Amino acid sequence: MKVPLGWLGELVRLPSPTELADKLTLAGLEVASARAIGVDAPQGLRIDEPSPPWAVDKVLVCKVLRVDPHPDAEKLKLPVVDMGGGIEKVVVTGAPNLKVGDSGQTCVIGLTGSTLLDGHSQTKVYKTLAPTKIRGVLSDAMLCSAYELGLSDDHEGLLFLDEGEGKPGQSATSVLGDVVLEIDILPNMARCLSLVGIAREVAALTGAPLSLPEPKPQATGPELGSAIGVSIPDSSLCSRYRAIALDGVKVGKSPGWMRRRLAAAGMRPISNVVDITNYVMLELGQPLHAFDLDKLEARSGGKPIQIEARPARAGEKIRTLDGQERALEAGLLVIADSQGPIAVAGVMGGAETEVGAETTRILLEGASFDPVAIRRGARALQLHSEASQRFTRGVPAELASMGLDRAAELLIAHAGATLRRGHAEVWPVQTQPKKVRLPHASVERLLGVAPSLEKIREILSALDFLCKPLADGEPGFEVEVPWHRLDIQDGVADLVEDIARLWGHAHIPARLPGGPAPASAPQADLEFEDRVRDTLAGLGLREMISHALSCPEREEAFVGNGAGPAVALANPISPDRCQLRRSLLPGVIEATRNNCRHAETVRLFEVGTAFLTDPTRGPFPREQRRVSLGVAGKRTETHWEDGEQAQPGYIDFFDMKGVVESLLAGLGIQGAKFQQPGTPAPHLHPGRQALLIGPDGEAWGSLGELHPRLARALDIAQPRLILAELELAPIQACSKEIPRVKPVPRFPAALRDIAVVVDNSTSAGELREGILEAGGGLVAACRLFDLFSGKGIAPGKKSIAFALGYQAADKTLSDKEIDQAHRKVEDHLRKRFGAQVRGKDDAPVIV
């Protein structure tokens, strides 16, 4: 929020800008930056839009005595201005709002040597004024626009000061100079989204007295009577609605001081009626809205106007002030008359009842709406305004009448309005002041140290809390919460927070906790996932994190029917983030594809959650922890020694199979195997995929090459992208701790090869499993090194060769023991798989 200190200074006496910024920041209102207008920038603050200060003897107030025509240019004029002390000066100007024959306007003049913004430059550029001849007339000064002074972006004409704003010869700095603080208002400090709210904080921090507005508009118009009725069907959506009527309104420009304050606070001046409602919102924190009363009466057809704060009905529409025709969701909070919605409550008004230049009578609304209902409306219509920002954080119902009175007072003074007697109002439930029991011991318990009771009373009283001693004699207070403190929800904790803020955190000593640190509870799941991460990182993969929100189009190809429908979000942040993901693969594929554009080899993994629907859990999804892997590119990076003819191989299915096998080995899992799926996964190549089957016979996941059709659709440049996705829970259940280091074998291994001919349906994995089973613990190594079919091998058969290593932990094996173990392996393969051992069995030879 932008806070002009000149405005704030009318409500409370201020220290220097730097001291004020320090005090506010330490009290929880962080001053992010400052902007100096015509004065020296405050020290120690980040300056937004740095600008040189106005020279006090060169940028002055002046008064136009007369305007003469330029002798050589129709568009130029020669104003003669009073500089004070009987000094007159002739300047040259082409400003469209100053005409030949004019007089009496109060302006700002920049003399030679003053540094101001260049009004003719497309960008903000400062220039130092120097004497120059303009069409033959010497000009050594310039009458200034609001833009050239840095007050606003308006450079369509000269800046005219209001009557009484400065005297000729007076420094412009003393009249227009200001410092604007940019304050970050946290949600729990929403009471400070107004000048009065910040003034209360400043008064409590400095002890300075407050001087708050006490509006008492004089109602001199006719009685409002029953001409306007108000109703609230659901008080949970609107706790108070109050309306007043004003006649004789003259829509025009608001006074200059108001326009300048609004511009400094970041709002664009529009007209006196609109500016006054915005001014009251910034000053008091109460958003208001003005309706054209004549247009409302025309809609009602001569009958009394009935205003209703209600939920929108299905099919209703409204054209808002920005000219957009908007369909309203059923249940959206609106302000309506007998013909339909005339405003989106707390967000934006309707164009059909808009106040325009021809408006002479207005109906002014002040209300308190449910924050959730306003937030829903602003989000649904993508309309976020200053008003909705305040309503979504809470506006006290008590503020409505004060805001309307202040606006009526300003409209009477600056729009010639006449306030009609009476008002239309519904205030169904008037809450009683909240009272909180605050024992002194509770303050010490929460802070670790406590100020005295007298200091606590002083602090809370400065914040408008009423403190009475506890009736039971316990040291402490019964604290009555002021109406403007909607943030006091947790009682004692909220009060102690205020005490700590104003007492000062420097009074709270820095002290380490006494006693031993509490033992951390074992986190088996997290520790296991760390083992998974460490193992994969040791295999050369890099961890990634993708978004847990997805969309149907992104997941369609990767989720089977068994996953069930996705869990949809009620308020998605965007169409491509409208549901919880059911698979980690889309995120891994996207990251792998993007990284492949910049690297020859990509190896990624993600440990995350897939969200699956579960009828037994109602609306809550079942969260399944998974690990997903993606590898692509060259198996080895190109090296200069390889030569031009060397063609490095590309990662394929067996590389991923090796990664998964190494992961399982690192987790101490034995007995898992790979097998072809009965029904191939549609997102994987039908001939290059496998299921990982655990020792319990259940499928733990799948791995394989991304289907070429999908690879083309996703614009993946690499020849192959290999994927795997595994469920972590069953893997964790079967994992075991393994020694980090194995001793080097003391006794040598004996190497033997075995080649067998088996049916094509027999997998190498099954043969390896049989070899290890028959070896009786003596087979320390079993490596596939040859696979052959064709000439010399019968149709439907294949030849598979393994290199075996026989080794015992306690001795060197003799040849006899090795031969005996090798024969057991051969016999087992013959018996279990019908294998023919090449070189020993009479295998048929096909010529």
Contact indicator for 365, 246 with CB cutoff of 8 Å: no
The two three-digit tokens of residue 338, written as one number: 């007998």
pLDDT band at 643 (very low <50, low <70, confident <90, very high): low
Q: What is the mean pLDDT of residues 218-235?
A: 93
pLDDT at 667 over 90: yes
Q: What's the CA gap between 325 and 724, in Å, rounded?
A: 49
Burial of residue 622 (CB within 10 Å: 0-12, 13-18, 19+) is middle
Side-by-side strand order, sheet with 684-693: 542-543, 601-612, 622-633, 721-727, 699-706, 684-693, 673-675
Query: If you average pLDDT over every residue of the chain, what do you get?
Result: 90
Q: Please give the single-letter amino acid code of residue 319.
A: R
Angle between helices 272-284 and 399-414 (to 10 degrees): 140
Q: Which CATH number is 750-837's, of 1.10.150.240, 3.40.50.920, 3.40.50.880, 3.30.70.380?
A: 3.30.70.380
The two three-digit tokens of residue 468, written as one number: 């009475």
3-state secondary structure of 327: strand
Q: What is the mean pLDDT of residues 479-493?
A: 91
The two three-digit tokens of residue 348, written as one number: 């934006």
Contact indicator for 701, 692 with CB cutoff of 8 Å: yes
Q: What is the DSSP string of 27-45?
A: TT-EEEEEEEESSPPPTTS
Residue 136 DSSP label: T
Q: Do domains 2-49+180-206 and 435-505 have the same CATH topology?
A: yes
Tell me whether strands 684-693 and 673-675 are parallel, antiparallel or unpaired: antiparallel
pLDDT value of position 639: 67
pLDDT at 169 over 90: yes
Look-up: residue for tokens 């002194």?
440
Angle between helices 272-284 and 386-393 (to 10 degrees): 30
How many other CB atoms are found less than 10 A from the CB of residue 41?
A: 19
pLDDT band at 814 (very low <50, low <70, confident <90, very high): very high
3-state secondary structure of 561: helix
pLDDT at 845 over 50: no
Q: What is the domain class of 524-734 according to CATH?
A: alpha beta
Phi, psi at residue 555, to the nearest 5°? -100, -10
Residue 261 DSSP label: H
Q: What's the CA gap between 690 and 713, in Å, rounded?
A: 23
pLDDT at 497 over 70: yes
Q: Please give the single-letter amino acid code of residue 106.
A: T
Of 173 and 618, the one with more pLDDT: 173
Q: What's the CA gap between 257 and 578, in Å, rounded?
A: 48
Q: What's the CA gap between 771 and 779, in Å, rounded?
A: 8
Instruction: State the SS3 of 366-421.
Output: EEEECHHHHHHHHHHHCCCCHHHHHHHHCCCCCHHHHHHHHHHHHHHHHCCCEEEE
pLDDT at 642 over 80: no
pLDDT value of position 846: 44
- Measuring CA to CA, which residue among 40, 156, 42, 157 is closest to residue 107? 157
Residue 461 DSSP label: H
pLDDT band at 847 (very low <50, low <70, confident <90, very high): very low
Q: What's the CA gap between 459 and 479, in Å, rounded?
A: 12
> What are the tens digits of pLDDT across the range 536-566?
999 999 999 999 999 988 888 887 655 678 8
Highest mean pLDDT among 70-74, 199-203, 738-742: 199-203
Enclosing H/E stretch for 501? helix 492-503
pLDDT value of position 671: 84
Of 597 and 535, the one with more pLDDT: 535
pLDDT band at 213 (very low <50, low <70, confident <90, very high): very high
Measured torsion, CA atoms of residues 265, 271, 273, 279, in degrees rounded to the nearest 10: 10
pLDDT at 842 over 70: no
pLDDT value of position 644: 58
3-state secondary structure of 422: coil
3-state secondary structure of 832: helix
Q: What's the CA gap between 100 and 66, in Å, rounded?
A: 8
Percentage of the chain modeled with pLDDT above 90: 70
> What are the tens digits of pLDDT across the range 574-585?
888 899 999 999
pLDDT at 420 over 50: yes
How many other CB atoms are found less than 10 A from the CB of residue 701?
A: 21
Task: Spell out the residues 6+ positions from residue 559 whose beta carbon is closer than 8 angstroms to its own.
Answer: 582, 583
> What are the tens digits of pLDDT across the range 184-211?
999 889 999 999 999 999 999 999 999 9
pLDDT at 638 over 80: no
Task: Spell out the residues 6+ positions from residue 663 whose beta carbon is closer than 8 angstroms to its own.
Answer: 532, 535, 536, 539
Q: What's the CA gap between 774 and 825, in Å, rounded?
A: 5
Contact indicator for 425, 240 with CB cutoff of 8 Å: yes
The two three-digit tokens of residue 32, written as one number: 């992010």
Q: What is the mean pLDDT of residues 757-776?
A: 89
Under CATH, which architecture does the 2-49+180-206 domain have?
2-Layer Sandwich (3.30)
Q: What is the domain class of 59-176 according to CATH?
A: mainly beta
Q: What is the DSSP string of 699-766?
A: EEEEEEEEPHHHHHHTT--SS-EEEEEEEHHHHHHH-----SSPPPPSSPPEEEEEEEEEETTS-HHH
pLDDT band at 641 (very low <50, low <70, confident <90, very high): low
Q: What is the mean pLDDT of residues 740-753?
A: 86
Q: Please give the single-letter amino acid code of residue 11.
A: L
- Measuring CA to CA, which residue among 29, 38, 26 is closest to residue 3? 29
What CATH number labels 219-426? 3.50.40.10
pLDDT at 791 over 90: no
Q: What's the CA gap between 803 and 751, in Å, rounded?
A: 7
Q: Where are the domains of the chain?
A: 2-49+180-206, 59-176, 219-426, 435-505, 524-734, 750-837
Under CATH, which architecture does the 435-505 domain have?
2-Layer Sandwich (3.30)
pLDDT value of position 320: 92
3-state secondary structure of 609: strand
Of the candidate ranges 440-454, 608-622, 687-701, the one whose mean pLDDT is the lowest: 608-622
Q: What is the mean pLDDT of residues 523-533?
A: 94
pLDDT band at 646 (very low <50, low <70, confident <90, very high): low
